[in-house]
Structure 1
């Protein structure tokens, strides 16, 4: 509930403090007195987009503070928690606008953005004014209004999720098809290249080994004779035989040398071991030099083949095995591509089936909700002297989308048998106000703790019809809070609390003032609304009669 509104230096208001009450609060005054400024000021502190120039002429800045009572469980508590703001049973909103256009807002003394204010305002205030063509009269919003009326948020979210699933499955399939098409353009190259590489089967480090082997075989004829001589010189007819003879002679003389030959004998023994290793190494190398001339041709052919593929594909020899693996993987992806596409096609089909199911469930719920809303509207229109009017919620097939497969339009027929059509094209001014009042009541029936504001909801009606509108407003306000800006004395007389808005010129400056009316002042204000500028005793009597109803 809106408890108070403090306005400073906004338009033609210098300082104004209003303390609102539960029930029906009415604001009256002549046209241009500043009633709309009060709504502009409230909209400003709630973060609504409105007038750009709000600061009163001559002031450095304008400021509006609104205080709301928040009972336990009020939906504003959740908004505050999500924004990391402290929650209490009192909510203080304050917003400042400088002459440069800079706007700053606070919630419970914490700096906040306009988005937070607007999120809070959705839970605090419901406004029906002279611009409902952007709200209730706009068919683009009727589907969401019907969903909100029936509490279909969870089903709508399920359809949105299913729609995203379809989009994601379709995107995955399209991406895979594009990738597969790209691979198909190089299929001939891949198959030929993989075939070549598989036939050659190059190994890591093989090119260096082949190069070494080739150079060794090319040098074999030049070095084999020297190595053979060396091997012979190390053998029995050479160093091995001489060292054997020397060792035998020394061992024969050792018995008479008193140990002085022992060191020489040991050294020769060690030399024989080293000589044996040298012989083994030379012999192994000689065996390596013994090759078939065709082997050199084979080595050269494979070496040249490896190097040729390296040049062809622009890779280093040691990178060739990994390169071959990459090409092979792409070819396998091509061969397995159709199977993968089939899997993705099935996933898309399943996603579409889920969407169709969830959308059909939502459609059925909307059809049921439409009947409930039509019945609720029928019940609301009767007390507003429109018992012969017909309200229909029309569902029509639409292009499938994230919120279902149908559009929703609110239509009316003002009399039985008359053609139905959109609200703003069929109903006259007075009828339109009553349709919108009834619709507003139906759409907000389940909301609690909401302050409802009606800006000239009674325009275009008078007499018994205005009385019916006033009584419906009073009924809505019972147990809640309704603020009504009105020019109708029948509506104003039913208010539980009454304020008069008037302009006053002081020292050449026009200012708007708002005065809470006591019983006598209220009679005078109703008499003015009935009689005009000249208030007569008869008008006062009529005003008292209205108040006594």
Structure 2
């Protein structure tokens, strides 16, 4: 609910503080008094795009503050949370218009953009008038209005659409992946065959390199080791030492013991020489290798390294690469079966969506028929019993909200061509169409403040009374503000405000005053009789107010 509106230095308003109440709030005044200025100022603080020259002449800046009450479940709370503002029970919107044209907006003293104000305005206020293109005259919103009127549950269609979209996404990704895989199928099959032929093993490169180095080293030193073994053997040091030992032992009996120690040392040396001979002999035996084995090890090592360079991986990763390439080939081989399953899933999702969307279309057609009957019932008291209102459904591009386009159309007389509301109906007829439609659509919706700008223009008498009573009915479920020239409408107001204009020292100023009962009688009498208020007009005003 709009609780208050504070305006400073805007257009013809110097300083104005208004407090609104629940129910039907009516604003009256002579033509040109400035009633539309209030709506301009309210639209300004709500971020609506409008006239640029809003600042009062001579003022440095203009400012508008609007205070709304927010019940716990009000949709404005979600918008506030999204922009990082903690929702409270009171919502204060403030917007400043500088003399240089710059505009600054605040929500609960937090600076915000005009876009945030406009988002909030969508869930706070709904304006209806002869030139309204934000609400009922905008065909883009007709489908949502019909769904709300019919109480339709769109969740099955939304869920089916999401499942359909996911199934189609999975199918498209699989088709693209299979197409990419097929482009490299020849390469994959050749690479896998090449890797399978080589059959690389993790750690094999290091093992082959060690063996190769060992055989290469043995090849270089084996000749020297063999020569050394020969020099240590019977034809070398061992033979010479045995001969020396035999000669010394033959001479020892005649040497009077002087050769005993040398002979013992030579015996020990022969033992050590034997151990050295056996060690060198063992080493030489270990160095024996097949030159073909060295050639084979080198060939395999070079083949491993060449294949690793070809695939830009480490040699130890070749085995894993082979497994990966085999998997990719497997996906190609199994791709057709997998693709067929995904295609079947996509067809099933399409069918499920079509079924849910068809059911929603049927429900919409039924709701449209009920809405048409309801609007027709409302048009009769508004002296438009010959007019025909029709909710038209047409096929639209499928989406999460179904496959229907919805448009409200009218024909002012039976047999006359029908068309969009704002193209067929005249000003007064359009106002009554909008009111009848809003009465049918707004029941039970207390989230919005409904504003009607001279929606009763061009009607009077019983028709004006019917307009007023429908506005009164709307105000039972939502706060209603109406700018009116009709005394019948004004008499039904819960709260009555009079807009007046005065000129002082060459400066024109608009003021707004809340009226007490006696003042209401006087104002409605003025609306009935004009400048000269008669006793008859005053009595008629009392009768209208008393109902």
In 1, are the aligned partners of 2:127 and 2:135 still within 8 Å (CA)? Answer: no
- Determine which of 440, 443, 447 is the counterpart of 2:441: 443
Deviation at 1:460, TM superposition (A): 2.4
Deviation at 1:285, TM superposition (A): 0.6
CA–CA distance in 2 between the matches of 1:349 and 1:242?
Answer: 100
Task: Between 93-102 and 213-222, report the one with greater CA deviation.
Answer: 213-222
Task: Between 277-286 and 400-409, report the one with greater CA deviation.
Answer: 277-286
CA–CA distance in 2 between the matches of 1:163 and 1:266?
Answer: 100
- Determine which of 457, 470, 473 is the counterpart of 1:472: 470
Matched, 1:199 2:197: yes
Q: Deviations over 1:234-267 (max 9, x none)?
A: 56876789999999x9xxxxxxxxxxx9999999
In 2, are the aligned partners of 1:46 and 1:121 still within 8 Å (CA)? Answer: yes
Q: What secondary structure, in the 3-state scheme, does the structure 2 residue paired with 1:386 have?
A: coil
CA–CA distance in 1 between the matches of 2:528 and 2:234?
Answer: 146
Q: Deviations over 1:486-519 (max 9, x none)?
A: 1223322332332222222222222221123345
In 1, are the aligned partners of 2:91 and 2:107 still within 8 Å (CA)? Answer: yes
Taking structure 1 as the reference length, the TM-score comes to: 0.82
Q: Deviations over 1:357-392 (max 9, x none)?
A: 332332233233223323332343333233444333
Matched, 1:145 2:127: no
Per the alignment, residue 460 of structure 1 pairs with 458
Per the alignment, residue 489 of structure 1 pairs with 487
- Determine which of 485, 500, 506 is the counterpart of 2:504: 506
In 1, are the aligned partners of 2:130 and 2:427 still within 8 Å (CA)? Answer: no
CA–CA distance in 1 between the matches of 2:285 and 2:524?
Answer: 131
Q: Relative to 1, partners in 2 of residues 1:459 and 1:212: Cα closer, same or farther, differing over 3 Å?
A: same
Q: What secondary structure, in the 3-state scheme, does the structure 2 residue paired with 1:515 have?
A: strand
CA–CA distance in 2 between the matches of 1:76 and 1:303?
Answer: 73
Note the 1:111-510 alignment, pairs <5 A: 111-114=111-114, 116-152=116-152, 155-203=153-201, 225-233=223-231, 276-286=278-288, 288=289, 290-291=290-291, 298=296, 302=300, 305-306=303-304, 309=307, 320-321=318-319, 323-416=321-414, 418-448=416-446, 450-478=448-476, 480-510=478-508
Task: Between 49-58 and 435-444, report the one with greater CA deviation.
Answer: 49-58
CA–CA distance in 1 between the matches of 2:313 and 2:380?
Answer: 87
Q: What secondary structure, in the 3-state scheme, does the structure 1 residue paired with 2:393 have?
A: strand
In structure 2, list runs of 5 or more residues that go unmatched.
249-262
Per the alignment, residue 260 of structure 2 pairs with none
Matched, 1:62 2:62: yes
Deviation at 1:459, TM superposition (A): 1.6
Q: Deviations over 1:103-149 (max 9, x none)?
A: 44444444455455445444443321233234212222110111222
Taking structure 2 as the reference length, the TM-score comes to: 0.82
In 1, are the aligned partners of 2:126 and 2:135 still within 8 Å (CA)? Answer: no
Q: Relative to 1, partners in 2 of residues 1:301 and 1:162: Cα closer, same or farther, differing over 3 Å?
A: same
Task: Between 85-94 and 458-467, report the one with greater CA deviation.
Answer: 85-94
Q: What secondary structure, in the 3-state scheme, does the structure 2 residue paired with 1:483 have?
A: strand
CA–CA distance in 1 between the matches of 2:435 and 2:279?
Answer: 113
CA–CA distance in 2 between the matches of 1:479 and 1:304?
Answer: 88
Matched, 1:11 2:11: yes
Per the alignment, residue 45 of structure 1 pairs with 45
In 1, are the aligned partners of 2:33 and 2:499 still within 8 Å (CA)? Answer: yes
In 1, are the aligned partners of 2:238 and 2:270 still within 8 Å (CA)? Answer: no
CA–CA distance in 2 between the matches of 1:496 and 1:62?
Answer: 30
Q: CA RMSD in A?
A: 4.3
Q: Relative to 1, partners in 2 of residues 1:242 and 1:147: Cα closer, same or farther, differing over 3 Å?
A: farther
In structure 1, list runs of 5 or more residues that go unmatched.
250-260
CA–CA distance in 1 between the matches of 2:209 and 2:89?
Answer: 88
Deviation at 1:547, TM superposition (A): 4.2
Deviation at 1:67, TM superposition (A): 2.6
Task: Between 157-166 and 463-472, report the one with greater CA deviation.
Answer: 157-166
CA–CA distance in 1 between the matches of 2:240 and 2:181?
Answer: 75
CA–CA distance in 2 between the matches of 1:211 and 1:480?
Answer: 88
Q: Relative to 1, partners in 2 of residues 1:73 and 1:321: Cα closer, same or farther, differing over 3 Å?
A: closer
